[in-house]
């Protein structure tokens, strides 16, 4: 397994049993998803409106409500994946249609580039995609280190250098380095995924070349 800085497909890890997948899907689909940022809080992250500028145009970022799965997934994750997790959750992708920046599901398809707020790494297991050509991209802000601190949000994104993009398969574990600016793009309708939030890299798959930072490189 080749080491890199961005992601590693962990297809040697076991697939999630269907009975647990069904529980995760039911948890998402049983929730009333919000139209505006003021009506709902996720179990693991609050929803709030994020607008960002790309190509000189202000766009509405997609949001990713996430609900905890610790009550039903802990035993299986501990036995089959890792015991070094911080959060277990299932997320979906929505657009806040009550926002004045909402245009349409077809045009509001991207997430604002960011680093994650609650974890350094995540193991992601995509359950469903509304379209097959959804992809994840990574960026670097000129003059700044590649690996940033938590919860960095690029409200202005035109100056970012895109480092690469990839389409992830469903029903397969992928480990992501969420300390690097990243986003999900071209998401039309749903994107449901299970996440195992991590403070450390228990598999040793990522290279660390620098500390997490948020100051310009002189």
Residue 203 belongs to a domain: no
**What's the confidence (pLDDT) of residue 51?**
81
Residue 154 belongs to a domain: yes
Residue 207 belongs to a domain: no
Q: How far apart are CA 23 and CA 13, in angstroms?
A: 20
Name every residue whose Cβ is closer than 8 Å to that of residue 98 and which is 6 or more positions away in sequence.
Answer: 35, 36
**What's the confidence (pLDDT) of residue 202?**
93
Residue 121 belongs to a domain: yes
Residue 116 belongs to a domain: yes
Q: How far apart are CA 69 and CA 89, in angstroms?
A: 5
Could you count the other beta carbons within 10 Å of the beta carbon of residue 200?
Answer: 12
**What's the confidence (pLDDT) of residue 50?**
78
Q: Say which CATH number the domain at 24 has.
A: 2.60.120
**Which tokens belong to 109?**
């398809």
**What's the confidence (pLDDT) of residue 168?**
96
Domain of residue 193, residue span: 7-198
Q: How far apart are CA 21 and CA 27, in angstroms?
A: 10
Structural contact between residues 28 and 39, judged by C-beta atoms closer than 8 angstroms: no
**What's the confidence (pLDDT) of residue 218?**
41
Q: How far apart are CA 171 and CA 181, in angstroms?
A: 24
- Report the candidate in 120, 110, 115, 128 with the shortest Cα–Cα distance to residue 57: 110
> Domains in the chain: how many in total?
1
Give, to the nearest 10 degrees, the angle between helix 70-80 and helix 18-29: 150
Residue 211 belongs to a domain: no
The rounded average pLDDT for each run of 10 residues, N- to C-terminus, in the chain (218 residues) is 75 98 92 59 65 84 88 98 96 80 73 92 96 94 94 93 95 96 91 96 76 56
Residue 205 belongs to a domain: no
Q: How far apart are CA 176 and CA 79, in angstroms?
A: 21
**What's the confidence (pLDDT) of residue 212?**
56
Structural contact between residues 170 and 128, judged by C-beta atoms closer than 8 angstroms: yes
Residue 75 belongs to a domain: yes
């Amino acid at each position: 397994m080749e080491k890199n800085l961005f992601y590693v497909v962990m297809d040697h890890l076991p697939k999630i049993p269907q009975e647990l997948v069904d529980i995760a899907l039911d948890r998402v689909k049983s929730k009333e998803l919000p139209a505006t940022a003021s009506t709902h809080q996720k179990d693991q992250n609050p929803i709030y409106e994020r607008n960002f500028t790309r190509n000189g145009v202000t766009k509405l970022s997609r949001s990713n409500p996430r609900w905890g799965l610790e009550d039903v997934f802990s035993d299986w994750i501990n036995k089959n994946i890792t015991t070094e997790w911080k959060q277990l959750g299932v997320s979906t992708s929505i657009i806040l249609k009550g926002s004045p920046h909402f245009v349409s599901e077809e045009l509001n398809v991207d997430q604002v580039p960011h680093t994650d707020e609650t974890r350094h790494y995540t193991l992601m297991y995509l359950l469903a995609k509304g379209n097959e050509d959804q992809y994840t991209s990574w960026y670097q802000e000129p003059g700044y280190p590649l690996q940033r601190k938590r919860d960095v949000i690029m409200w202005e994104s035109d100056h970012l250098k895109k480092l690469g993009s990839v389409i992830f398969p469903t029903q397969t574990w992928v480990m992501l380095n969420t300390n690097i600016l990243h986003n999900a793009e071209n998401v039309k309708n749903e994107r449901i995924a299970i996440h195992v939030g991590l403070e450390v890299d228990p598999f040793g798959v990522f290279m660390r070349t620098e500390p997490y930072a948020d100051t310009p490189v002189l």
